[in-house]
Amino acid sequence: MVYKISSILALAASLALTANAQKQIEGLTYAGAKVPPNVSANIPKNALASVPITDPKSPQFACRSNGLNFPNIKSYQSTAGEMFIVQWDKAQMPAVNTAEGYKQLNGPCNFWLASTDNVKGDLQWFRIKEVGYDPTNGWCTDTIRNVGQMVVPMPKDIPNGNYLFRTEVIDLSYAGQTNAADPTMGAQFYSDCIKYTLTGAQDPKPVTDGLVTLANAYNLSDKSLLLNLTADGKPPGGTYTVPGPVVHPQPTN
């Protein structure tokens, strides 16, 4: 079965920290039927949701929300190995912020999971998919602009239980310097989260490789986050390594 996650991505002409930029997951679609808003699994965002986060140590970094404990938010039910389609729905974007807005984004995407069962301290996150840059298809953000969606296979071998699924778009348009001296500069992170409950795991094993707290997931001085793109938005030298820990192996069948 395939689940669809719809998103709105409304981007103003500038993606500086003060820009009116917003991306949020609206919900899943089951077999073509829209899930009613009152059972949405979205983690609600605070007032900072309309701008990107530039500091991974910010308490809003994970989901652009005030914390992650929302007991009244229901979870989507999912079977191990199923496909999620993350969809950025351009049809729902304000007309003034359509193609012009998308053209301002240049960068990779990461997709994360974190178990929310028996948590002690900060959540431990691991990546399940990355999409960076290649000369043929461009950035992940080019795929968003041209295709509007991304297929993300859910792991088959992780334990059943409750998780947060996190999407992350990293804009590098202003990554020529860190935000230390100028808060409107630096790599800019757009994240969204949903709650979901996983069942049907095949020979599940605890995840041990690539576990990180998001506060320690990135070094903003890393060459993948501190770089000057070319005039046409390409990485210098035409190659790029997506930042983050090792990606959990995806389902093979």
**Domain around 144:** 2-238
Q: Which letter does DSSP use for residue 221 in this model?
A: T
pLDDT value of residue 214 = 93
What is the side-by-side strand order in the sheet with 2-10? Answer: 33-34, 22-30, 2-10, 83-88, 149-153
Locate the DSSP E strands across the chain.
2-10, 22-30, 33-34, 76-79, 83-88, 109-115, 125-131, 133-134, 138-139, 149-153, 161-171, 188-199
What residues contact 151, with CB distance under 8 A and at least 6 apart?
83, 84, 85, 86
Count of structural domains, the chain:
1
Q: What is the pLDDT along the chain (253 residues), one digit of tens a residue?
A: 444 444 333 222 121 222 223 333 444 443 333 443 334 455 555 544 556 788 888 888 888 776 666 666 667 777 888 888 777 644 433 323 333 444 468 999 999 999 999 888 889 999 999 999 999 999 998 888 787 778 888 888 899 999 998 889 899 988 998 877 677 789 988 888 888 888 888 888 889 999 999 999 999 999 999 999 999 999 999 999 999 999 998 766 6
pLDDT value of residue 95 = 29
**What span, in angstroms and rounded, lies between the C-alpha atoms of 225 and 243?**
7
pLDDT value of residue 78 = 78
Residue 202, domain member (yes or no): yes
pLDDT value of residue 17 = 20
Q: What is the CATH number of the domain that holds 168?
A: 2.70.50.70
pLDDT value of residue 223 = 94
pTM: 0.80
Residue 245, domain member (yes or no): no
Q: Which letter does DSSP use for residue 249 in this model?
A: P
Q: Using one digit for the tens of pLDDT, what is the confidence trace for 201-217?
A: 888 888 999 999 999 99
Sign of the dihedral through C-alpha 129, 130, 134, 140: positive
Rg of the chain in Å (alpha carbons): 17
Residue 248, domain member (yes or no): no
Q: Using one digit for the tens of pLDDT, what is the confidence trace for 127-171?
A: 999 999 999 999 998 888 787 778 888 888 899 999 998 889 899
